């Protein structure tokens, strides 16, 4: 089991290109996240959990699909850790594990309303495979 987690951790770090050891856990990434209230695990927690190898809860978390991929956390990080890239890498790992995407293109129109930001729509379309 340990080797499986270690392999997955290395894969996530390689896929994302992020060095989570640079994180000083200041929380600025989470403070600026527009989806903070919707997420079970916040950006700084993603970084910490990937660094510690506690990845299984992330793979099963709805937070993966709550992230808007707006990269506000990347802009705010004083150390350049790029939490959103880790979220994207974990999302890809979850999709590979499931063998299918969480969101289908046909599901998006039913989710739209007048208040949804255009950025959320673009992010939604990034989250499904053609």
Q: Where are the domains positioned within the chain? A: 2-126
Q: What would be the CATH architecture of the domain defined by 2-126?
A: Orthogonal Bundle (1.10)
Q: Residue 126: what pLDDT?
A: 67
Q: Residue 94: what pLDDT?
A: 86
The number of residues making up the chain comes to 130
pLDDT tens-place string over residues 47-90: 999 999 999 999 988 888 899 889 999 999 999 999 999 999 99
């Amino acid at each position: 089991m340990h080797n499986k987690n270690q392999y997955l951790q290395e894969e996530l770090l390689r896929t994302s290109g992020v060095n989570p050891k640079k994180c000083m856990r200041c929380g600025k990434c989470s403070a600026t996240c527009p989806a903070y209230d919707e997420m079970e695990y916040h950006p700084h927690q993603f970084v910490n959990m990937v660094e510690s190898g506690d990845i299984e809860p992330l793979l099963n978390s709805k937070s993966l699909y709550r992230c808007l991929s707006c990269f506000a956390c990347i802009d705010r990080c004083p150390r350049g850790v790029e939490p959103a890239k880790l979220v994207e890498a974990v999302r890809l790992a979850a999709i590979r594990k499931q063998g299918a995407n969480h969101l289908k293109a046909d599901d998006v129109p039913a989710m739209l309303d007048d208040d949804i930001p255009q950025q959320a729509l673009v992010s939604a379309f990034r989250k499904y495979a053609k």
